[in-house]
Each structure stands twice: as structure tokens, then as C-alpha cells.
Amino acid sequence: MTQPPMRKKQDRAQRITAAAKTQFLEFGLRSTTMEAIARRAGVAKATLYTYFPDKDAVFRAVLMSVASRLKIAAETAFTANGSASDRIAAALSAKYFELDAVLEASPHRAELTHQAVILTGSEITLLSNELQERATALLVEEGWSRAKASDRTALLFACIGGLYKIPAGRERREEQITFLTERLLDESC
């Protein structure tokens, strides 16, 4: 039995995106060509161009796929049991660990991260704002004023974003995120 045309098209787009992700991680954005992506995906170059007009569009699709997984991982943590502080720490850890899992083995991590910000800065900002608003809402549910919750989550997200400029392993990073979350979301401060 054959797949419906729309499903087949979605499967092919996913296969192209997965192949492109692997290609970008292995060779970087600059060294990856549309021809190499097509070859890795097992499609003709012309077929690739029917899905994506250029390499930046393919890279953007890869980034949106990763962002979707980050959002799901964070949302799962936000809805788990525990205090707001514990859930926020878990969501931030999940977000960054998902990203680290994608990039950790790539010798092109810096280039890909830099290009991701250039090509999808507004989408990254929107995702971060959504997660920050979700964290604020959790604190408000626990009785914090909206102003104080918003101020603290903004500070927390800025601090944790800065952590990624400092090399650290997963265990150490989780300790840092927990430390910052506990301190900044301590209501007595």
C-alpha cells in the first residue's frame, strides 16, 4: 500500500532535514553544499530545491526542528510535579541539554551557533520569551506578584544564558542552573 502524497512529501522533507543536520554537524555550514545534502538525503539536487530554495532555508528548517524539541523538553519539565523553582530549573536544564546533545560532538559548534543566531534570531527570541513567560506564570501561580516574578525570571534567563559562555560538563551545568534558580527564585530575597 502506498503512502498518500502529502505524507510522502512530509517524510521526504524530514529525511532531507535529518540529512542536512548531520551534514551541518560534520562539515559546518560553510562547507556544506546543497549537493552534499541531496546526496546524503538520497534525493536529486532538483528535488532538494523543490523543498528549500537555498542552504540557509535548509539550515533554518533544521533549527526549527531542534527548537521544537527544545520547547517540548522544557514544557514536559514545566508540567512535572514539584515546586515552581524545581520545575523551572528542570525546564531550563532540559532546554540547554537538548541543545548540547545536538551540538556536543560537532567541531563546528561555534560556527553553527553563531549562524543560528544570525538566521533565526527572532525565532530564538520568541522561544526564549515563551519559556520565560511560562516560568513567570508558574511563580505567579505560587503567589508571587507578576512584577516580581517577571523581574526574577528575566534575571534568571539572562544569567543562565551567560553560563553557556563558560565551558562545563553536563553535571556541572546542571549544578549551576540549580544554584542560580534556587538563589534567584528564593522568595525571601
Helices 84-103 and 5-31 cross at an angle (nearest 10°) of 70
Kindly indicate the confidence band of residue 157, based on its pLDDT and cuts at 50, 70 and 90: very high
Kindly indicate the confidence band of residue 49, based on its pLDDT and cuts at 50, 70 and 90: very high
Q: For residue 172, is it within any domain?
A: yes
Q: Provide mean pLDDT across the span 99-112.
A: 80
Kindly indicate the confidence band of residue 189, based on its pLDDT and cuts at 50, 70 and 90: low
Q: For residue 189, is it within any domain?
A: no
CATH number of the CATH domain containing 146: 1.10.357.10
Q: Which residue has the higher pLDDT, 41 or 5?
A: 41
Q: What is the pTM of this model?
A: 0.79
How many domains does the structure of the chain reveal?
1
Q: For residue 58, is it within any domain?
A: yes
Contact residues for 60 (Cβ-Cβ < 8 A; gap 6+): 119, 120
Q: For residue 82, is it within any domain?
A: yes
Q: Provide mean pLDDT across the span 61-84.
A: 91
b/e for 148-187, b at 16 or more Cβ within 10 A?
A: ebbebbeebbebbeeeeeeeeeeeebbebbbebbeebbee
Contact 91, 134 (CB under 8 A): yes
What pLDDT was estimated at residue 2? 62
Kindly indicate the confidence band of residue 112, based on its pLDDT and cuts at 50, 70 and 90: confident
Domain that holds residue 69: 5-184
Kindly indicate the confidence band of residue 3, based on its pLDDT and cuts at 50, 70 and 90: low
Contact 185, 152 (CB under 8 A): yes
Residue with cell 512584577: 147
Q: For residue 150, is it within any domain?
A: yes
Q: For residue 9, is it within any domain?
A: yes
